[in-house]
Amino acid sequence: MPLNSNNIDPSKLPQLDKHLIWKGFLQLVPLSFFVIAFGIAFGLAAKQTGLSSTESMAMSTLVFAGASQFASLELWGPKVSLITILITVFAINARHLLMGATLYPWLQHLSPFKRYGVMFLASDANWAMSLQAFTQGKPGFGILVGGGLSLWLFWIFGTWVGLYFGNLISDPKQFGLDMVMGCFLLAMVVGGEKNIRMLVIWTVAASASLIAFWFLPENTHVVLGALAGGAVGIFWLNKKEESNSDD
């Protein structure tokens, strides 16, 4: 099968087929192995919180958003406040709204069915890599879908391991495993475009995030930081791209 992913042809970028999905799946497998460790930690924590195995597995399978799942355990008990849990889950996962928006320039070329379909398994890692692929002129939806499948399956598997063999890794922190996602996301930032404009945008985003983190309601910092950074981008336009922007 000929590989044409190196040709920079904008009309080909939104393409999505089995081959690209499989490639994306394989690309995220190494990171997904680390995700097993998080899954184990979640399965163990869910069991200790008192969720049944079915409930824990259902949560990892359906929700598939680690940080919000851990947060929901903090709020769990014999009786839970539905509104509090749902608001917390929404606040932590609101960053997905921005992820969908950032992919829209490429998503708009897909049929509505595919456009929403590819977003079902969107999470931090596969979104960041797929966006990086697009900005480098490569097709990215294979990474979003295939990578999402990889992360999802390993997350579910990890949860299962945690439920039954949870004590294998009782303290992921000791092995630095709590830093997997942080290091990965930072590598994505550092690997991206670097210039004065981006540096200012990142500084504003970081400052806004920290201010929100310390002084505003919990879990608002990611969205506010991202919007603050985005706002800088509106007013300080990237002159270089202006001439060759195509969509």
Partner 1 sequence: MIETTGLGALLVIGLMFLVTLSTRLGGVFVMSYIPISYRVKQFIQAMSGSVLVAILAPMAVTGDNGARLALLSTAIVMLLVKKPLPAITVGIATAALYRML
Instruction: Rounding to the nearest 10 degrees, give the CA dihedral for residues 196, 198, 201, 204.
Output: -70
CB of 1 to partner 1, least distance (A): 25
| Conformation bin of residue 162: beta by default, left when phi > 0, alpha when psi is -120 to 50 | alpha
CA–CA dist 112, 128 (Å, integer): 22
Closer residue to partner 1 (CB): 8 or 187: 187
**With CB under 8 A, what is the number of residues at the site for partner 1?**
102
Non-local (6+) Cβ contacts of 95 within 8 A are 124, 222, 223, 226
Q: Which listed residue (77, 196, 215, 217) binds partner 1 by CB under 8 A?
A: 77
CB of 225 to partner 1, least distance (A): 3
CB 229 within 8 A of CB 201: yes
Closer residue to partner 1 (CB): 2 or 77: 77
CA–CA dist 66, 176 (Å, integer): 17
Instruction: For residue 213, count other CB atoms closer than 10 A to its CB.
Output: 15
CB 172 within 8 A of CB 56: no
Residues between 216 and 245 with contacts to partner 1, criterion CB under 8 A = 221-234, 237-238, 241-242, 245
Q: Which listed residue (25, 42, 72, 145) binds partner 1 by CB under 8 A?
A: 72
CB of 41 to partner 1, least distance (A): 15
Closer residue to partner 1 (CB): 4 or 73: 73
Closer residue to partner 1 (CB): 22 or 175: 175
Instruction: For residue 1, count other CB atoms closer than 10 A to its CB.
Output: 5
CB of 230 to partner 1, least distance (A): 3
Residues between 183 and 202 with contacts to partner 1, criterion CB under 8 A = 183-193, 198, 201-202
**Which of 129, 120, 145 lies closest to 61 in space, CA to CA?**
120
Instruction: For residue 20, count other CB atoms closer than 10 A to its CB.
Output: 21
Residues between 20 and 59 with contacts to partner 1, criterion CB under 8 A = 30-31, 34, 50-52, 54-55, 58-59
CB of 30 to partner 1, least distance (A): 6
CB of 2 to partner 1, least distance (A): 26
CA–CA dist 143, 5 (Å, integer): 12
Q: Which listed residue (13, 43, 66, 115) binds partner 1 by CB under 8 A?
A: 115
Q: Which listed residue (40, 128, 145, 163) binds partner 1 by CB under 8 A?
A: 128
Q: Which listed residue (22, 33, 116, 164) binds partner 1 by CB under 8 A?
A: 116
